[in-house]
Amino acid sequence: MNRRSAIRNAVLFSAGIVLIPSCMEDNKAIFQTKNIKLTGSGERTLQLLCDSILPAGNSFPGAGELKAHEFVLTMMDDCASPEDQAKFSDGLAAFETRSQTTTGQIFTKNSPEQRQNFLVTLEKNKAANDNLAFFYNSTKHFTVQAMTSSKKYMTEIRKYKMVPGPHFKGCVPVGNQV
Amino acid sequence: MGDTKNSFEAIVIGSGMSGGWAAKEFCEKGLKTLLLERGRQVEHLKDYPTTNMQPWEFKHRGQVPYTISKDNPVISRCYAYKEDAMHFFTKDTEHPYEQEKPFDWIRGYQVGGKSIMWARQTQRWSDFDFEGPARDGFAVDWPIRYKDLAPWYSYVEKFAGISGNKDGLDTLPDGEFLPAWELTCVENHFKDIVSKNYADRHVIYARCAHVTSPEPIHIEQGRGQCQTRNLCQRGCPFGGYFNANSTTIPWAQKTGNLTLRTDAVVHSIIFDDTTQKATGVRIIDAHTKQTTEYFAPVIFVNAGAINTNLILLNSVSKRFPNGLGNDAGILGKYFAFHNYRARITAEYDGMLESTTEGGRPTGAYMPRFRNVHKQETDFLRGYATTFSAGRQTIDPVIDGLAGEELKRSLLNVQKTGRWSVGSQCMGETIPKITNYVSLSESKKDEWGMPLINFSVAYDDNDEKMIKDFFQQYTEMYTKAGFTNIKVSDSKQAPGLDIHEMGGVRMGKDPKTSLLNEWNQLHACKNVFVTDGACMTSTSTQNPSLTYMALTARAANHAVELLKKGEL
């Protein structure tokens, strides 16, 4: 029994049936999607997967600070076809099942090492034509994009300037360009 | 004639690339001018909602939401239809049309039209282009030659602001240029290789409508120096490139002679059987659907090539049962476009010690070299091409990585890869009677106008030209030492080139053309057509500059005729 269902049961036993609606809320996702079916636990799994793909530290914000899981959901919810949205939701469920059968525990309960090992197997599985691979590949793609399209990355790493100025030099030595 | 409130001295239909010029010329000459626009108002600076947005501020990082692209497959194929500029494009669903044969009709219904989002390439025509139909026996002879248009090219270039080099080529006459940006190292390398190997092929800087160094006229327009943002399709906060919104329309407004009526869908041009002249224009309000009539002694039709055809076809009277001025019976026919299907890309391993600095909203260009002085291939005419070369930005490795390793890889950005080079083929197509636009027999739009129907297709000449482009460019790229050469044929439908032309062609003979040498309808002299619809042939150049020059020339002629009482 995981922590959340343990708490839920405790609440049920102590307060009785009156609290069921609010307890059901507990499994509602915080981020509102229009098309993607998403539970609260699914959302937490996705969030932790994003954090595992791009962890915090290393002098650059990780997926958590970048709110990458919200970006993944935004892109899938608004820009993917209904077929791909279904594959994403089913893939998320498959991800949860597979991680549990592999480690004996749900993903959010895994140790960082277990999660990293699971990602390694998914990287090897990424060419597979199944919902799990689709879910993992999409999540990774948009998590990476959340980082590479962030203000900090574009201005500090890529030196992006919206207004480069009027001058263009067609031939300068590598390393000397401003 | 109607009441004075609805009476003007000139009416211009369409406020885009060419209509803005007609309005400017008339207003400057003191004519009370009505400028009709079917779309909404877009004021320079004020109505560019995304112009200062950073890339990370776009919710979908540029991508168009699925429901929009699914419902609007045609506009979604346009390269510039992205989250940052999609509000300037007309959705398929907003104005449907019929496709007897597939045609991608790309539209921008607003003040300024497509001049807001255009690609800003401005190459002049030469007599090799104007003399094409007569020499090669297609379409009809142009009623004008380069010398007729040359002063008007200069006139519009000075006002619009065109960046370029004087290249001294007879195939691409020089103009009034602001300074050019530099070519890149590898563009210059290719230029050298080409000129060493082919006497008749020239790689030059592609002339473009950017203010690289403002002249007093541009300052007076309130425009400034281009800052090479390369975000032109959003509208420019510096007025760095030419669009009607920043340049011609405010200039017309400053005279106090302009009345701009937006949301006005033109239904037809009113023809008076007694005077045998057009007297005005009937419009339908885009929202209330109410009909209003406006009157003027001269009418310029600049609705964009296809809508210009639609308006004329829908302007029926006792005298013109098949559309205004359509005595020849060819209105809507000999419709043409540019063949933009073919591209070639490659890489270059040399000059790795060099790179570029800053941005540049243009590239290099090779004017047509095929069949210039005489017929020499198994296809008619030829193609111009773009050429550009820049260092690749290497995307960090992400494959097979997750976690710390992936993040390290993303932070380790190698600045420069090899050189990427590429060329786009821009082929002249041959106008034919079998390529036409017509009115739907049964279907009407929400304003009660018949839907336009397209029957326009490529032909064998286009296929042969693509093959030749692939062969010639593979040869030139190979000589330049480029590797990994890849050719591709997008097989895109006509229209996606956004260079639709013809249907109301100019010519000397009223039996085989609709417009005379001044862009007047042969059979209704106070109606002028100076947008893409007037084009007798297409040549290979991006056509907007030629529309602007034709419009300024025709408008000034119309003013002279009015003064003489000849309209």
pLDDT tens for A100-149 read 999 899 999 999 999 999 999 999 998 999 999 999 999 999 999 999 99
* Partner-chain contact B403 A160, CB within 8 Å: no
Residue of B nearest to A147 (CA): B410
Closest by CA position to B531, among listed B259, B226, B210, B310 = B310
Is the ipTM above a cut-off of 0.85?
Answer: yes
Residue A34 forms contact with B (CB below 8 Å): no
Quick one: DSSP state of residue A150?
S
Question: Chain B partners of A167 at a C-beta cutoff of 8 Å?
Answer: 228, 357-358
> Tokens 């000589």, residue?
B479
Whether residue A176 is contained in a domain is answered as no
Mean pLDDT over each residue of chain B, to the nearest integer: 97
Whether residue A47 is contained in a domain is answered as yes
φ, ψ dihedrals at B352, nearest 5°: -75, -10
Based on the fold, state whether residues A42 and A104 are members of the same structural domain. yes
Based on the fold, state whether residues A21 and A47 are members of the same structural domain. no
User: Do the beta carbons of residue B165 and residue B204 sit within 8 Å?
Assistant: yes
Q: Indicate if the pLDDT at residue B1 is higher than 70.
A: no
* Partner-chain contact A164 B212, CB within 8 Å: no
Which residues are B524's β-sheet partners? Answer: B521
Residue A177 forms contact with B (CB below 8 Å): yes
pLDDT in tens, B494-506: 999 999 999 999 9
Long-range contacts of A53-59 (CB under 8 A, 24+ apart): A53/A119, A53/A139, A53/A140, A53/A143, A53/A144, A53/B402, A53/B403, A53/B406, A54/A143, A54/A144, A54/A146, A54/A147, A54/B403, A54/B406, A54/B407, A54/B410, A55/B403, A55/B404, A55/B407, A58/B404, A58/B407, A58/B408, A58/B411, A59/B411
Q: Quick one: A176 exposed, middle or buried, by C-beta within 10 A (0-12, 13-18, 19+)?
A: exposed
Which residues are B527's β-sheet partners? Answer: B299
Split at pLDDT 50, 70, 90, the class of A82 is very high
Share of chain B above pLDDT 90, in %: 97
Q: Which helix (H) or strand (E) holds B524?
A: strand B524-529
Dist CA B64 CA B51 (whole Å): 17
Closest CA–CA distance from residue A169 to any residue of chain B (Å): 5
SS3 A78: helix
Give the domain extent around A100.
31-149
Based on the fold, state whether residues A6 and A88 are members of the same structural domain. no
Mean pLDDT over each residue of chain A, to the nearest integer: 87
Closest by CA position to B355, among listed B395, B396, B394, B392 = B392
Closest by CA position to B179, among listed B35, B362, B397 = B362
Residue B231 forms contact with A (CB below 8 Å): yes
Quick one: DSSP state of residue B65?
P
Helix, strand, coil share of chain B (percent; to 5): 25, 20, 50
DSSP one-letter string for B373-387: SS--SSSSS-EEEEE
Residue of A nearest to B188 (CA): A170
Whether residue A39 is contained in a domain is answered as yes
Dist CA B20 CA B13 (whole Å): 10
Dist CA B302 CA B318 (whole Å): 24
Predicted confidence at residue B273, as pLDDT, reads 93
Mean pLDDT of the B174-188 span: 98
Q: In terms of DSSP H, where are the helices of B162-298?
A: 185-197, 216-220, 248-254
pLDDT in tens, B218-268: 999 999 999 999 999 999 999 999 999 999 999 999 999 999 999 999 999
CB-CB: which of A53, A148, A169 is closest to B357?
Answer: A169
Quick one: DSSP state of residue B252?
H
Whether residue A124 is contained in a domain is answered as yes
Dist CA B313 CA B317 (whole Å): 11
User: Do the beta carbons of residue B513 and residue B260 sit within 8 Å?
Assistant: no
Distances (CA, A) of B206 to A104, B167, B241, B465: 64, 11, 14, 22
Based on the fold, state whether residues A18 and A105 are members of the same structural domain. no
Question: Chain B partners of A116 at a C-beta cutoff of 8 Å?
Answer: 402-403
Range 404-433 of B in CB contact (< 8 A) with A:
404, 406-408, 410-411, 413, 415-416
Question: Chain A partners of B404 at a C-beta cutoff of 8 Å?
Answer: 55, 58
Based on the fold, state whether residues A75 and A89 are members of the same structural domain. yes
Mean pLDDT of the B208-226 span: 98
Which residues are B33's β-sheet partners? Answer: B10, B258
Closest by CA position to B15, among listed B531, B533, B503 = B531
Mean pLDDT of the B416-429 span: 96
Predicted confidence at residue B465, as pLDDT, reads 98
Axis crossing angle, helix B185-197 with helix B460-479, rounded to the nearest 10 = 100
Residue B360 forms contact with A (CB below 8 Å): yes
* Partner-chain contact A78 B65, CB within 8 Å: yes
CB-CB: which of A78, A148, A158 is closest to B66?
Answer: A78
In total, how many domains does chain A have? 2
Based on the fold, state whether residues A144 and A104 are members of the same structural domain. yes
Residue B225 forms contact with A (CB below 8 Å): yes
User: Do the beta carbons of residue B8 and residue B32 sit within 8 Å?
Assistant: yes
Based on the fold, state whether residues A45 and A126 are members of the same structural domain. yes
Mean pLDDT of the B382-407 span: 94
Residue of A nearest to B189 (CA): A171
Q: Which are the contacts of A17, defined by CB distance < 8 A and separation ≥ 6?
A: none
Based on the fold, state whether residues A56 and A90 are members of the same structural domain. yes
Residue A144 forms contact with B (CB below 8 Å): yes
> Tokens 């391993």, residue?
B349
CB-CB: which of B54, B227, B413 is closest to A157?
Answer: B413
Whether residue A170 is contained in a domain is answered as no
Dist CA B247 CA B24 (whole Å): 9
Based on the fold, state whether residues A18 and A94 are members of the same structural domain. no
Residue A160 forms contact with B (CB below 8 Å): yes
Based on the fold, state whether residues A15 and A40 are members of the same structural domain. no
User: Do the beta carbons of residue B66 and residue B83 sit within 8 Å?
Assistant: no
Quick one: DSSP state of residue A154?
I
Split at pLDDT 50, 70, 90, the class of B3 is low
Q: Tokens in use for B498?
A: 């956004």
Range 75-114 of A in CB contact (< 8 A) with B:
75, 78-81
Mean pLDDT of the B508-525 span: 98
User: Do the beta carbons of residue B280 and residue B267 sit within 8 Å?
Assistant: no
Closest CA–CA distance from residue A118 to any residue of chain B (Å): 10
Q: Quick one: B492 exposed, middle or buried, by C-beta within 10 A (0-12, 13-18, 19+)?
A: middle
Residue A157 forms contact with B (CB below 8 Å): yes
pLDDT in tens, B309-324: 999 999 999 999 999 9
User: Do the beta carbons of residue B223 and residue B247 sit within 8 Å?
Assistant: yes
Q: Which helix (H) or strand (E) holds B408?
A: helix B404-411
Based on the fold, state whether residues A36 and A115 are members of the same structural domain. yes
Question: Which amino acid makes up residue B115?
Answer: S
Predicted confidence at residue B413, as pLDDT, reads 84
Which pairing describes strands B204-205 and B98-99: parallel, antiparallel, or unpaired? Answer: unpaired
Closest CA–CA distance from residue B117 to any residue of chain A (Å): 18
* Partner-chain contact B357 A154, CB within 8 Å: no
Cα dihedral B20, B25, B30, B33 sign? negative
* Partner-chain contact A165 B184, CB within 8 Å: no
Quick one: DSSP state of residue B478?
H
Mean pLDDT of the B433-453 span: 97
DSSP one-letter string for B337-353: -EE--EEEEEEE-S-TT
pLDDT in tens, B58-90: 999 999 999 999 999 999 999 999 999 999 999
Predicted confidence at residue A26, as pLDDT, reads 63
Q: Which are the contacts of A133, defined by CB distance < 8 A and separation ≥ 6?
A: A91, A122, A125, A126, A127
Question: Chain B partners of A107 at a C-beta cutoff of 8 Å?
Answer: none
Split at pLDDT 50, 70, 90, the class of A177 is low
pLDDT in tens, B132-171: 999 999 999 999 999 999 999 999 999 999 999 999 999 9
Dist CA B289 CA B393 (whole Å): 52
Split at pLDDT 50, 70, 90, the class of A178 is low
Closest CA–CA distance from residue B412 to any residue of chain A (Å): 8
Residue of B nearest to A73 (CA): B60
* Partner-chain contact B56 A116, CB within 8 Å: no
Whether residue A122 is contained in a domain is answered as yes
pLDDT in tens, A26-55: 689 999 999 999 999 999 999 999 999 999
Q: Which are the contacts of A173, defined by CB distance < 8 A and separation ≥ 6?
A: B353, B354, B355
Cα dihedral A54, A56, A58, A60 sign? positive
Based on the fold, state whether residues A14 and A49 are members of the same structural domain. no
Mean pLDDT of the B523-536 span: 98
Whether residue A116 is contained in a domain is answered as yes
Predicted confidence at residue B428, as pLDDT, reads 98
Q: Quick one: B175 exposed, middle or buried, by C-beta within 10 A (0-12, 13-18, 19+)?
A: buried
Closest CA–CA distance from residue A138 to any residue of chain B (Å): 13
Whether residue A97 is contained in a domain is answered as yes
SS3 A35: coil
